C-alpha cells in the first residue's frame, strides 16, 4: 500500500517537473525569437519574469498541468507586452526638443527702449552754448520777428490775424523787410474786413518789396476770404485748419499755433533751423527739406524745447552760423560741431602781382611811356569816350520837379516790370 502511494506521488512530481521544463523551454524559445533586436533592459526584465515563473510551481503544489501551462502563456504574453511598451520610446526616431521660455521684465523693456532711442551726442552742451550766445537777444528776429509785428492793443482775433499775415510775408524775406510791410499794413487797419475791401494793386504796393509779393497778394486775399467764410473772422485754432489756408505750410502753421494760440503742436523749421540742425549733426541722417528736419528733430528732442528751439536757432543763424562763411572761430561749439571750420576755411587774400622795379629787366616793358611811344596814336579815342558818356548818362528835366540824373545801365537798374509805382507817381527814378 505504501509503495503504491509512493509511486503515485513520484508520478505526479515527474509530471509537474516535465510540464515546468516544457513551459520554461517554450518561454525561452519565444523570448529568444521575439527579443533578438531588443536592448539589454528588456532581456533583464524577461529573465526576472522567467525566474518568477520557475518559482511558481514550488509555491503552488496543487496546481494542475493545464493551469501551469495557461499561467506560463499569460506570463509570457505579459512579458512581451511590457518589453514592447518599454522599448517604444527607446527606438523612436524623433527626439524631444527642449522648449524655450521667454522671460520678460518691465524694467528691462523700458531700459531697452531707452537704449534704442537715438539722440545726438553733446546736444545738451551745444544747446547751452547757443543759449549763451543768444543771451543778448540782439538778432533781427528778436526785434522784428512775428512776435513783434502785431498790434498789442488790437482785439484778440485781430492780433491773431496779424500774426498769420506776418508769417505769410516772412517766407523768403528778410525780417526788416517783413517788419516794414507790416508797419504799412497796420497803418491801413490790418484786419479781415479791411483786407477784403482792399484791391490787389493797393495791397501789392503796401507789401512790396517782400519776396514773391505778387503771389503773396493772391494767397492773402484767398486765405482772408476763407477765414471770413468758414471761421467767423478768426484764424483756425487747429493745425489742420491752418494748413487748409492758401499759402500756409507746416512751418507757418506750427508757429501760428505757438504765437497766436499759445499751443505747441510741433517745431517750426525754417531755413536757419534746417541748416544748423544738419551742421550740428542733430539729425540721424542728412535731411534734404525742412519738413524732413522737423520730423527728425521731433523724434528725439524733448517736447518742452519745441517752442524755444526755433527762436534760438533762427537768431543763431542770423548772427553766427551764417549760410555762407559761418563764423566758426567765434562760436562756442567749434570743438563739438562736426562741421566746424569746414564750411569757413581760412581764405587767403589774393595777392596783387609785384610791380617791377627800376633794376628789373622787364622795367621797360612795364613802363606805360614806352608802350605809348611804340603804339600809334588813336585819334578817335576822344570821340568814342564822348559818345559813351552821352549814352550812359543823360540830363533830363522832369515835369514835376527839377532835373534828375538817369542812368542807362541795365545791370544796375534791373527789371522794372515787377516794381510798383512809388508814392510820387514815378517809376524807376532816383533822386539826386
What is the enclosing helix (H) or strand (E) of 397? strand 393-397
User: Can you say how many angstroms the Cα of residue 64 is from the centroid of all Cα atoms in its chain?
Assistant: 96
Catalytic residues: 251
Which stretches of 212-270 are DSSP H helices?
213-230, 239-243, 250-259
The answer to whether 322 and 339 are in contact (CB under 8 A) is no
What is the enclosing helix (H) or strand (E) of 407? strand 403-407
The answer to whether 404 and 431 are in contact (CB under 8 A) is yes
Distance between CA atoms of residues 33 and 98, nearest Å: 37
Instruction: Show the cell assigned to 240.
Output: 489742420
Which stretches of 231-328 are DSSP H helices?
239-243, 250-259, 271-280, 290-300, 306-319
Distance between CA atoms of residues 178 and 252, nearest Å: 14
The residues, ordered by sequence, that sit 6+ positions from 176 with a Cβ below 8 Å of its Cβ are 140, 144
3-state secondary structure (DSSP) of residue 351? coil
Distance between CA atoms of residues 23 and 55, nearest Å: 13
What is the enclosing helix (H) or strand (E) of 266? none
Distance between CA atoms of residues 81 and 21, nearest Å: 23
Bridge-based pairing of strands 393-397 and 403-407 is: antiparallel
Which DSSP category does 191 fall into?
S
Amino acid at each position: 500500500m505504501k509503495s503504491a502511494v509512493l509511486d503515485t506521488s513520484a508520478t505526479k512530481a515527474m509530471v509537474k517537473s516535465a510540464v515546468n521544463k516544457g513551459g520554461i523551454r517554450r518561454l525561452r524559445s519565444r523570448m529568444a525569437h521575439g527579443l533578438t533586436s531588443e536592448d539589454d533592459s528588456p532581456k533583464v526584465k524577461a529573465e526576472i519574469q522567467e525566474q518568477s515563473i520557475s518559482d511558481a510551481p514550488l509555491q503552488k503544489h496543487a496546481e494542475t498541468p493545464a493551469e501551469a501551462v495557461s499561467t506560463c502563456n499569460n506570463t509570457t504574453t505579459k512579458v512581451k507586452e511590457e518589453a514592447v511598451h518599454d522599448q517604444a520610446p527607446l527606438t523612436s526616431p524623433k527626439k524631444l526638443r527642449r522648449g524655450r521660455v521667454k522671460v520678460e521684465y518691465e524694467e528691462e523693456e523700458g531700459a531697452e527702449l531707452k537704449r534704442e532711442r537715438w539722440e545726438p551726442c553733446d546736444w545738451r552742451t551745444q544747446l547751452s552754448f547757443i543759449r549763451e550766445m543768444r543771451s543778448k537777444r540782439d538778432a533781427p528776429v528778436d526785434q522784428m520777428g512775428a512776435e513783434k509785428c502785431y498790434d498789442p492793443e488790437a482785439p484778440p482775433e485781430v492780433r491773431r490775424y496779424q500774426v498769420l499775415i506776418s508769417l505769410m510775408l516772412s517766407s523768403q524775406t528778410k525780417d526788416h523787410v517783413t517788419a516794414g510791410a507790416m508797419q504799412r499794413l497796420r497803418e491801413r487797419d490790418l484786419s479781415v474786413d479791411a483786407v477784403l475791401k482792399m484791391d490787389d494793386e493797393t495791397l501789392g504796393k503796401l507789401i512790396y518789396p517782400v519776396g514773391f509779393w505778387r503771389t503773396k497778394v493772391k494767397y492773402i486775399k484767398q486765405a482772408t476770404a476763407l477765414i471770413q467764410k468758414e471761421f467767423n473772422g478768426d484764424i483756425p485754432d487747429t493745425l489742420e485748419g491752418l494748413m487748409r489756408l492758401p499759402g500756409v505750410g507746416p512751418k507757418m502753421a506750427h508757429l501760428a499755433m505757438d504765437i497766436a494760440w499759445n499751443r505747441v503742436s510741433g517745431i517750426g523749421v525754417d531755413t536757419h533751423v534746417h541748416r544748423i540742425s544738419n551742421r550740428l549733426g542733430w539729425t540721424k541722417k542728412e535731411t534734404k527739406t525742412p519738413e524732413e528736419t522737423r520730423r527728425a528733430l521731433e523724434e528725439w528732442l524733448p517736447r518742452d524745447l519745441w517752442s524755444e528751439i526755433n527762436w534760438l536757432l533762427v537768431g543763431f543763424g542770423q548772427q553766427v552760423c551764417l549760410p555762407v562763411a559761418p563764423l566758426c572761430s567765434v562760436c562756442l561749439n567749434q570743438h563739438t560741431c562736426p562741421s566746424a571750420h569746414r564750411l569757413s576755411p581760412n581764405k587767403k587774400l589774393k595777392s596783387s602781382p609785384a610791380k617791377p622795379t627800376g633794376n628789373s629787366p622787364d622795367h621797360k616793358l612795364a613802363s606805360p611811356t614806352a608802350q605809348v611811344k611804340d603804339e600809334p596814336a588813336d585819334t578817335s579815342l576822344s570821340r568814342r569816350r564822348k559818345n559813351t558818356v552821352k549814352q550812359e548818362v543823360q540830363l533830363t528835366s522832369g515835369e514835376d520837379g527839377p532835373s534828375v540824373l538817369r542812368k542807362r545801365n541795365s545791370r544796375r537798374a534791373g527789371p522794372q516790370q515787377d516794381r510798383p509805382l512809388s508814392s510820387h507817381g514815378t517809376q524807376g527814378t532816383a533822386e539826386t
